[in-house]
Structure 1
C-alpha cells in the first residue's frame, strides 16, 4: 500500500513596500523599504538630471525608484540564496 501525504495548506502573506522620494535640485533620492514580516530590507538610491535635459521631476522619480527596486530585488535574491544554503547545511547535519 502506498503512503499518501496530505496537501500543504495554502499560506498567505503580505509584504509591504515603501518608497520615499526626495527632490534636491537636480537630484532625486529614494529610500526604499521592503517589510516581509520576517525581515526588512532597505536601500537608498539616487538619480541625477543631465544638465542639458529639461527639468522633469517625474523622470528622476522613475529612474531613482526603478534603481531602488532593482537593488531591492538583488538583495532579496541574495538573501534567498543565503537562506537556501543555510537550510541545506542544517538538513545535512
Structure 2
C-alpha cells in the first residue's frame, strides 16, 4: 500500500517593536491547520532579528506538530484500536 501526497506549507513572520510573531499553515488537501508562535526580545539583549524569526517560527511549527499528532491520535482511537499501557514517546505505535 504505497501512496504519495503533497502537503503545502507556508510560514509567515511578522516583526514589530522587539516582538516576532509566526504563523505556520499546512494544507493537507483535506484540512488546513494553523500553528502560532511568538518571540519577544528582552530590551537588554542585542537586536538580532534572525533570532526572533527562528524562535517564533520554531514555536509555530511545534504548535502545528502538536495539532497533527493530536489529530492522528484521535484517528487511531476512532479505529477502535486499543493500546495497553502507556503511550510510546515516538514512533507510529500507539
Same fold by TM-score, threshold 0.5 exceeded?
A: yes
Of residues 24, 32, 39, the one that matches 1:47 is 39
Report how many residues are paired: 81
TM-score using structure 2 length: 0.80
TM-score using structure 1 length: 0.81
Partner of 1:32: 24
Give the deviation of 1:16 after TM superposition.
Answer: 1.3
Unaligned runs of 5+ in 2: 82-94
Q: Does 2:52 match 1:60? A: yes
Q: Which of the pair is proportionally richer in helix? A: 1
Unaligned runs of 5+ in 1: 1-7
Asked whether the equivalents of residues 20 and 53 of structure 2 are also in contact (C-alpha less than 8 Å), the reply is yes
Aligned Cα root-mean-square deviation (Å):
1.2
**Quick one: distance in 1 between partners of 2:32 and 2:76?**
18
Q: Which has the larger radius of gyration?
A: 1
Partner of 2:64: 72
Q: After superposition, what is the alpha-carbon deviation per residue over 1:12-36, rounded to whole angstroms, capped at 9, x for unaligned?
A: 0011111100011100011110111
Provide runs of 4+ in structure 1 moved above 3 Å: none
Q: Does 2:57 match 1:84? A: no
